[in-house]
Amino acid sequence: MLLEPAQTTNYMILGLSVIVGAILLFVGSLAVRFRNLRQDLQVLKEVEHDEPEG
Amino acid sequence: MESTPRGLKWLSAVTGVLFLIALGMVLFYAPEEAVMGNVQRVFYFHVSAGWVGGLAFLVTAVAGIVYLMRSDPKWDRVAQASVEVGIVFTLINIVSGSIWARPIWNTWWTWDPRLVTATVMELIYLAYVMLRQGIEDPERRARFGSVYGIVGFISVPITFLSIRLLRTIHPVVIGSSDPSAQGAFDMTPAMLQTFMFSLLTFTLVYATLLWHRLRLQRLMERVEQMKMKVFAS
């Protein structure tokens, strides 16, 4: 008698979602940190430019 | 900050396409495993994530050695960037393994040698990040980080060998499993092709993320230097 494979599709969906989701989350965190640092750099450049010489 | 290099744009695009192909192969090309069913498909990305974790920590150790020899901050940046990617992928490896284990071992977690060594390895590299955050002087931080990254790498071969040397229920897919292993299976040619393709794709994902993270590191340092310059004037 042949046995059917176990019904584990829900766990597969959960597992693959966690993997893809975690990678996307990391990519998103890189993008957010890039954006924030660029904004900081812009502000610092403006402050440096506004300061009087000497 | 200079715009994204053309090579990185291409690498990101190619990696994205390869990742989608790998996901397609996992879902539609590889056959359903005869006993475990569809949850076995998690294996392709689970092992690949573990591989990236180990590779990332190896790069950290090598970069640490080179930094100690040359004192070039570029290598410290590589070590730091690689650790962050390694921590993310080791976490993916542990969590996806736990999800696979629930229907196969009937538990989310067990104190098996592989699970314990992988978790200890993750904690060792989280401590690396904390150590660096606790040191103000950049040169000292880089030196301590390099030594820690080299010594911490011992945890990687221990994790790899734990299922080959110790009594465990974790299956060994390449090589022979312990007789008490639960969830072992033989790979068909289509499964093997999917597995190898996933490994290649995740290696490229690592290279892409490392490159992006390195650029972020340079930008962070530039902002820090700018802050010091502005506040000093």
pLDDT digits (tens, 9 = 90+) for B13-37: 999 999 999 999 999 999 999 999 9
What value does the mean pLDDT of chain B take?
94
| Count of alpha carbons within 13 angstroms of residue B39, beta-carbon side | 21
CA distances from B166 to B121, B159, B224 (A): 17, 11, 47
Answer yes or no: do A9 and B212 touch at CB < 8 A.
no
Verify whether the Cβ–Cβ distance A12 to B42 is below 8 Å.
Answer: yes
Condensed to tens digits (0 to 9), the pLDDT of residues B77-113 reads: 999 999 999 999 999 999 999 999 999 999 999 999 9
The reported pLDDT for the residue numbered B165 is 87
**Distance in angstroms (rounded) separating the CA atoms of residues B116 and B128:** 18
Q: Which of B101, B68, B92, B62 is nearest to B181 (CA)?
A: B101
Per-residue pLDDT, B184 = 79
Contact A18, B200 (CB under 8 A): no
Tokens of A1: 């008698």
ipTM of the complex: 0.93
Q: Is A9 exposed, middle or buried (0-12, 13-18, 19+ CB in 10 A)?
A: middle
More confident residue, B69 or B232: B69
User: How long, in residues, is chain A?
Assistant: 54
pLDDT tens, B157-172? Answer: 999 999 888 888 898 8
CB B77 within 8 A of CB B217: yes
Res A35 pLDDT > 90 = yes
Q: Does B42 touch chain A (CB under 8 A)?
A: yes
Give mean pLDDT, residues B192-215. 98
- Best mutation site among B2, B32, B39, B201 for testing chain A: the one with the most A CBs within 10 Å? B39
Contacting residues of B for A47, CB less than 8 Å apart: 230
- Cβ contacts of B223 on chain A, cutoff 8 Å: 37, 40-41, 44
Any chain B CB within 8 A of the CB of A50? no
**pLDDT higher than threshold 70 for residue B177:** no
**Cβ <8 Å between B45 and A16:** yes
pTM (two decimals): 0.93
Q: According to the model, what pLDDT value does residue B1 have?
A: 57
